[in-house]
Amino acid sequence: MTPDARKRLLDGLGLVDWRMRPDRLAAAPTAPADHAPALREPAPPATDPQPDVAPAASSAGEPAAAATAPDHDTQTVAPNPSVDAPAPAAAQAPAEPAAPAQASDVSRMDWDELEAWLATRDHRGASRPVFGIGARDADVLIVGEAPGANEDAQGVPFVGRAGKLLDRMLFAIGCSRDTNVYITNICKFRPPNNRDPNADEVAADWPVLERQIELMDPKLVVAVGRVAAQTLLDSTQSLGKLRGTLHRYPRRELDVLVTYHPAFLLRSPGQKAKAWADLKQIARRIASA
Ligand code: URA
């Protein structure tokens, strides 16, 4: 890895290169400041006066739920509704001339139809849907869990403090939502009271994510956090067990890599070295795509 690439990677994670420690340099580089509030907090304050919350206790070196802003990295989520479901209609139907998409025929919608259809769905108490952002033709799809307060306010995924860290992590491996990744969530509406999405919510939004994956046809999905990982892989395994290996997305020629949720990393900076290892693996997989 070139020195520049190493520096970008470390900066992205907010880590300091050991070769540039203060005892070696007058001033060590620091990561850009975070100004947005923590992830999935009840309401978005204008600034975040709190430093990163101390890491929650972990029994197996894995993320544990924090008291006020759960990172959703320890419990089990509803199974991936696609696994037991019949294959998508498009895969089963005989080849026919394309007809205009019906209102609920999600599997035939284009991006704009899908986004417009999502907006007609029950918002489940959220202010607005958070459909996704980024390059729709990118090779890499980032999937988080669900919008938080900031995302609900802006209609854009990962815009809070955790989103800023996610952007820096992506930048470290040459990726950006402006150019070469698409970012979305398992759930498209903010769950009430910042709780984990429940099985009904996951199931309600699942067709939209599936269609996004079909339309995008990425080479790699990066699941950030336990909820995204367990849902996408239809697994009940812990995030600690799921990260570190390349998974195959059920029913598709598609690789899935799992990494920590940036909100968890903000609370548990000690885990950033593992996140860095994940990022390097993601970079290698992208390079080989
Ligand atoms: N956390 C997520 O999982 N998704 C968002 O969009 C924001 C925070």
Q: State whether the beta carbon of 240 lies less than 6 angstroms from ligand 1.
A: no
Among the listed residues 145, 141, 158, 169, the one whose alpha carbon sits nearest the alpha carbon of residue 255: 141
Confidence band for 251, pLDDT divided at 50, 70 and 90: confident
Q: Confirm or reject: Cβ of 147 under 6 Å from ligand 1.
A: yes
Q: Give 278 Cα–ligand 1 centroid separation in angstroms.
A: 19
Token pair recorded at residue 156: 């854009």
Average pLDDT over residues 171-185: 97
91 CA to centre of ligand 1 in angstroms: 31
Query: What is the Cα–Cα distance from 145 to 127, expressed in whole angstroms?
Result: 17
Q: What percent of the chain has pLDDT over 70?
A: 64
pLDDT at 245 over 50: yes
| 4-8, 223-227, 239-243: the lowest-pLDDT one | 4-8
Higher pLDDT, 286 or 106: 106
The reported pLDDT for the residue numbered 215 is 98
Whole-angstrom CA distances from 69 to 186, 188, 289 are 18, 19, 36
| Range of 21-30, 46-55, 127-136 with top mean pLDDT | 127-136
Q: How far is CA 158 from CA 134, 153, 172, in A?
A: 11, 11, 17
Distance 157 CA to ligand 1 centre (A): 6
Closest approach atom of ligand 1 to CA 225: 3
- In angstroms, rounded to a whole number, what is the distance separating the alpha carbons of residues 212 and 22? 46
Cα 90 to Cα 103, 104, 109, 118, 191: the distances in Å are 16, 14, 11, 20, 30
pTM score over 0.85: no
DSSP 204-266: HHHHHHHHHHHHH--SEEEEESHHHHHHHHT--S-HHHHTTS-EEPTTSS-EEEEE--HHHHH
DSSP-derived 3-state class of residue 197: coil
Domain ranges of the chain: 109-288
Q: CATH homologous superfamily of domain 109-288? A: Uracil-DNA glycosylase-like domain (3.40.470.10)
- For the chain, give the mean pLDDT: 77
C-alpha closest to that of 205 among 84, 79, 90, 118 = 118
Is the shortest distance between the CB of 148 and ligand 1 below 6 Å? yes
Distance 42 CA to ligand 1 centre (A): 13
Distance (Å, rounded) from C-alpha 284 to C-alpha 289? 9
Query: How is 58-70 classified by DSSP, letter by letter?
Result: -SSSS----SSS-
Question: Whose C-alpha lies nearest to ligand 1, atom 7?
Answer: 158
The residue among 2 and 68 whose pLDDT is bigger is: 2
Q: What angle do CA 177, 218, 75 make, to 5 degrees?
A: 80
Quick one: pLDDT band at residue 2, thresholds 50, 70, 90? Answer: low
Which of 145, 137, 136 is closest to 205 using CA atoms? Answer: 145
Give the tens place of pLDDT for each residue, 106-159: 999 999 999 999 999 999 999 999 999 999 999 999 999 999 999 999 999 999
Could you tell me the distance, in angstroms and rounded to a whole number, from the CA of residue 199 to the centre of ligand 1?
17
Dump pLDDT digits (tens) for 4-19. 666 666 566 665 444 4
Better-predicted residue by pLDDT, 85 or 164 = 164
Task: Identify the top-confidence range among 45-59, 64-78, 100-114, 124-138.
Answer: 124-138
Q: Calculate how far, in angstroms, residue 147's C-alpha sits from the geometric centre of ligand 1.
A: 5
Phi, psi of 247 (to 5 degrees): -105, 160
74 lines ligand 1 (CB under 6 A): no
* Choice from 34, 39, 167 to test ligand 1 binding pocket (greatest atom count within 8 A of CB): 39
* CA dist., res. 5 & res. 150, Å (int): 31
CA dihedral angle for residue 145, residue 146, residue 150, residue 151, rounded to 10 degrees: 110
d(C-alpha 10, C-alpha 273), whole Å: 9
